[in-house]
Structure 1
Amino acid sequence: MKTELATILKHQATKILTDLRESKEPILITEHGRPSAYLVDVEHYDMLQKRMAIIEGIARGEAAIEEGRTYSHSQASEKMAKWLK
């Protein structure tokens, strides 16, 4: 992974963005020697957002199971019948 200083980003933003589009590799931006942010291309960011939505849905499902908020197959079929016509 490439690392850039925030000051370099300020002065060479166009070049850094061009490199990012070509390499598709995230860039770690640092300030005062510490990680500050990641710079990622739009496609990578969108893919990460979609993955997070899936993971959050799975977590909600697992929580529902742990809390007993589930239905048997026959109960679910009964509840869904009006939409499955």
Structure 2
Amino acid sequence: MKIELVTNLKRRATEIIRDLNEKHEPILITEHGKPAAYLIDVQSFQEITKKNELLEGLARGESAIKQGRVVSQKEAKKSMKKWLA
């Protein structure tokens, strides 16, 4: 992972962003020697967001199963018929 000082980001923003978009490698931005932020390209951010949404959906499904909130496939098809048609 690439590391950049916040002052470098201020001075070379265009160059850093161009490199980021070409390599798709996150950049750790530091301020006063401490991590301050991560900079990632738009495509990577969208992929991460989509994966998180999927994982959250799976977690909700597992929780529903543990709580016994389940129906048979037949019942599910019947109640979702309007969306499956």
Query: CA offsets, 1:25-81, max 9 Å, x none?
Result: 111111121111111111111111111110110011011111111112333233234
Q: Which residue of 2 aligns with 1:53?
A: 53
Residue 72 (structure 1) aligns with = 72
SS in 1 for 2:68: coil
Superposed, 1:1-40 pairs within 5 Å as 1-40=1-40
Letter in 1 for 2:45: Y
Which stretches in structure 2 are left out of the alignment for 5+ residues?
Answer: none
CA distance in 1 between partners of 2:21 and 2:56 (Å) = 29
What SS class does the counterpart of residue 46 from structure 1 fall into? Answer: helix
Deviation at 1:84, TM superposition (A): 4.5
